[in-house]
């Protein structure tokens, strides 16, 4: 997953170099982020057709929209013209990305810090309608949720047994499980239906429904029964997230290679 820290400026794409300490090696990102080769391929084609015009930050925003549409989700008008950062922040990447064992209060306050509200939080969490997570990101829930060697009691019983077989108490940290077990490759609202049944994979998923914040509970229910409303809010919230402090005008640059400052 990819949240924005300095702003929507593709800082995460920079590799280690003389002046850059790469965000790719932060706790939340290491062994997790993938697809950098796809960004390289897109960038190479763009540079060939039209040098130094489309930023890496815009490529990421366009790829997020394109992959949403291709997997069955909504389309939206996407403001472009972001520029790329000349810096990265390892400490920002370590401190500002919400952890998978976040409480509902953690999630609300981290999103708020970026100017995103409860609707953005719940709608954007619906991005977990696609893809997988590693055992290490949900193991705590299965064996020791609160430091008392007990599992998270909000996990549905059969789902709990399935997860334990994928994710043993010791080892298997990189075994993967779908975030939306019903349709991991289709952009739809089954993620929210599963939350109602105690079948959310991460603590940060399930607490949207069990976390005792009225607003997020209502939103989960609403999106579970009305896919159109989820699509509408997801589209709006993706624009909101993509507008977090972008670099524009003479700030930043358009990188030639997404891995390197020019």
Which listed residue (132, 182, 196, 244) binds ligand HEM by CB under 6 A?
A: 132
- CB distance 160 to 211 below 8 Å: no
The reply, when asked if residue 93 is annotated as ligand binding, is no
Residues in contact with Ca ion, shown as a per-residue x/- string from 150 to 189 under the rule CB under 5 A: ------------------------------x--x--x-x-
For residue 217 the two structure tokens come to 């509970």
Contacts of 18 (CB under 8 A, 6+ apart): none
Query: Smallest distance from the beta carbon of 36 to ligand HEM, in angstroms?
Result: 12
118 binds, among ligand HEM, Ca ion, none (CB under 5 to 8 A by kind): none
Stretch 191-220 residues interacting with ligand HEM (CB under 6 A): 202, 204
122 binds ligand HEM (CB under 6 A): no
157 binds ligand HEM (CB under 6 A): no
Which listed residue (4, 130, 142, 235) binds ligand HEM by CB under 6 A?
A: 130
SS3 assignment, position 109 = helix
* DSSP string computed for 17-38: -SS---GGGSTTTTTT---HHH
| Residues listed for the chain | 262
The reply, when asked if residue 180 is annotated as ligand binding, is yes
The residue (of 49 and 70) whose beta carbon lies closer to ligand HEM is 70
Q: What angle do CA 256, 80, 117 make, to 5 degrees?
A: 120
Residues in contact with ligand HEM, shown as a per-residue x/- string from 136 to 155 under the rule CB under 6 A: -x------------------
Residues in contact with ligand HEM, shown as a per-residue x/- string from 24 to 63 under the rule CB under 6 A: --------x-x-----------------------------
Distance between CA atoms of 215 and 204, rounded to whole angstroms? 15
Which residue matches tokens 């409480």? Answer: 103
SS3 assignment, position 70 = helix
| DSSP summary character for residue 19 | S
Which listed residue (29, 102, 129, 204) binds Ca ion by CB under 5 A?
A: 129
For residue 182 the two structure tokens come to 């019903």
Distance between CA atoms of 170 and 193, rounded to whole angstroms? 31
Distance between CA atoms of 194 and 123, rounded to whole angstroms? 15
| Residue 243 CA, distance from chain mean position | 16
The residue (of 185 and 260) whose beta carbon lies closer to ligand HEM is 185
Q: Which residues bind ligand HEM (CB under 6 A)?
A: 1, 32, 34, 98, 100, 102, 107, 124-125, 127-128, 130-134, 137, 202, 204
> Which parts of this chain interact with Ca ion (CB under 5 A)?
129, 180, 183, 186, 188, 190
């Amino acid at each position: 997953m990819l949240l924005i820290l300095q702003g929507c400026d593709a800082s995460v794409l920079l590799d280690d170099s003389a002046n850059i300490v790469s965000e790719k090696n932060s706790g939340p990102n290491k062994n997790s982020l993938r697809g950098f080769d796809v960004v390289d391929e897109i960038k190479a084609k763009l540079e060939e057709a039209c040098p130094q015009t489309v930023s890496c930050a815009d490529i990421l925003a366009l790829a997020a929209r394109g992959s949403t549409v291709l997997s069955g989700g909504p389309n939206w008008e996407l403001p472009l013209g972001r520029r790329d950062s000349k810096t990265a922040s390892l400490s920002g990447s370590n401190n500002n990305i919400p952890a998978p064992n976040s409480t509902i209060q953690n999630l609300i306050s981290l999103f708020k810090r970026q100017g995103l509200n409860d609707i953005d939080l719940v709608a954007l969490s619906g991005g977990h309608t696609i893809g997988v997570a590693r055992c290490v990101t949900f193991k705590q829930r299965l064996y020791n949720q609160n430091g008392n060697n007990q599992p998270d009691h909000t996990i549905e019983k059969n789902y709990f047994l399935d997860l334990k077989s994928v994710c043993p108490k010791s080892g298997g940290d990189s075994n993967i499980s779908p975030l939306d077990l019903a349709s991991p490759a289709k952009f739809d609202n089954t993620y929210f239906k599963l939350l109602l049944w105690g079948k959310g994979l991460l603590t940060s998923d399930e607490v949207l429904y069990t976390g005792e914040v009225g607003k997020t509970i209502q939103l989960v229910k609403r999106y579970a029964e009305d896919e159109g409303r989820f699509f509408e809010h997801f589209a709006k919230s993706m624009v909101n997230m993509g507008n977090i402090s972008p670099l524009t005008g003479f700030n930043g640059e358009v990188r030639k290679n997404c891995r390197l400052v020019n």
